[in-house]
Structure 1
Amino acid sequence: MDSDQQATEVTDVDITETNYTIYRDALAAVLIDKLAEPDPKPKKKKRQRRVKPVLDDLHLDKKVDAKADQATGENEKDEQDLTSPDDVAEFVDYLAQETFDLLPDELQTLAHHVWVADAKLRHRFAGHDDKDKDKDKDKDKDKDKIMPAAPLTAPQVTELMPGLDPSPVADSMQAYGLTGLTGAATKTTRGGRSAADVVAPALSAYLQAVTTPPPAPRSTRDEADGCEICGREHIGLSYHHLIPRFVHAKVIKRGWHRPDELQNVAWLCGACHRRVHQFANHEDLARYYYTVERLMAEPEMQRYAAWASRLRWKKK
Structure 2
Amino acid sequence: MTSDENYAIFRECLSNAIVARSEEKPKPTKRKPKSKRVTTTTASTGRSNPEELAEFVDYLASETFTSFPKPLQTLNYAATQHDPTLLKIYAPDADTPLPRSTLELLTTPIPVSVTDSLLAYGIIPDAADLPDFLAPVLAEYTSSVTAAPPVWASTRADACEICERDWIPLSYHHLIPRGVHAKVVKKGWHDEWMLNSVAWLCRACHSFVHRMASNEELAREWFTVERICEREDVQDWARWVGRVRWKAR
Same fold judged by TM-score > 0.5? yes
**For residues 288 and 303 of structure 1, do their structure 2 counterparts lie closer, same or farther at Cα, with a shift above 3 Å needed?**
same
Deviations 1:157-192 (A, max 9, x none): 53224433443x152321212x59xxxxxxx92147
Residue identity matched to 1:96 = F
Q: Could you tell me which residue of structure 1 aligns to residue 47 of structure 2? A: none
Query: Higher helix share goes to which structure?
Result: 1
Q: Find the residue that maps to 2:201 and give its secondary structure.
A: strand
**In 2, are the aligned partners of 1:79 and 1:174 still within 8 Å (CA)?**
no
What residue in structure 2 maps to residue 297 of structure 1? 230
* Structure 1 equivalent of residue 101 of structure 2: 159
CA contact (8 A) 2:176 2:223 kept: yes
Distance in 2, Cα, partners of 1:119 & 1:79: 36
Q: Secondary structure at the match of 2:168?
A: coil
Counterparts of 1:227 and 1:162, CA distance in 2: 47
Please report the TM-score for the alignment, with normalisation by the length of structure 2. 0.73
Classify the secondary structure of the residue corresponding to 1:310.
Answer: coil
- Paired letter, 1:197: D
Where does 1:256-267 land on structure 2 (aligned, <5 Å)? 256-267=189-200
Whichever of the two has the greater Rg, that structure is 1
Q: Does structure 1 residue 313 correspond to structure 2 residue 246? A: yes
Q: Distance in 2 between matches of 1:115 and 1:192?
A: 39
Alignment counterpart, residue 161 of structure 2, candidates 214, 224, 228? 228
Determine helix, strand or coil for the equivalent of 2:183: helix
Distance 2:150 2:219 in 1: 20
Q: 2:204, 2:244 → 1: CA distance?
A: 10
Please state if 1:246 is matched with 2:166.
no
- Work out the number of aligned pairs and report it: 229
Say yes or no: does 1:206 pair with 2:141. yes
Q: Which amino acid aligns with 1:248?
A: H
- 8 Å CA contact 2:173–2:199 kept in 1: the answer is yes
Partner of 1:286: 219
Flag the 1:120–1:206 CA change in 2: closer, same or farther, 3 A: closer
Deviation at 1:87, TM superposition (A): 5.9
Alpha-carbon deviation of 1:282? 1.2
Partner of 1:81: 37
- The one of 117, 120, 125 equivalent to 1:176 is 117
2:171/2:200 contact within 8 Å kept: yes
Q: Which amino acid aligns with 1:231?
A: E
Q: 1:196 aligns with which of 112, 128, 131?
A: 131
Over the residues paired in the alignment, what is the CA RMSD in angstroms? 3.6
Deviation at 1:299, TM superposition (A): 2.0
1:132-147 maps to which residues of 2 (within 5 A)? none
Name 1:143's counterpart in structure 2: none
TM-score relative to the length of structure 1: 0.59
Q: Is the 8 A contact 1:241 1:266 kept in 2?
A: yes
Q: Give structure 2 stretches of 5+ with no counterpart.
A: 39-51
| d(CA) in 2 for partners of 1:111, 1:265 | 17
Change (3 A) 1:118 1:277: same
Distance 1:158 1:258, change over 3 A: farther
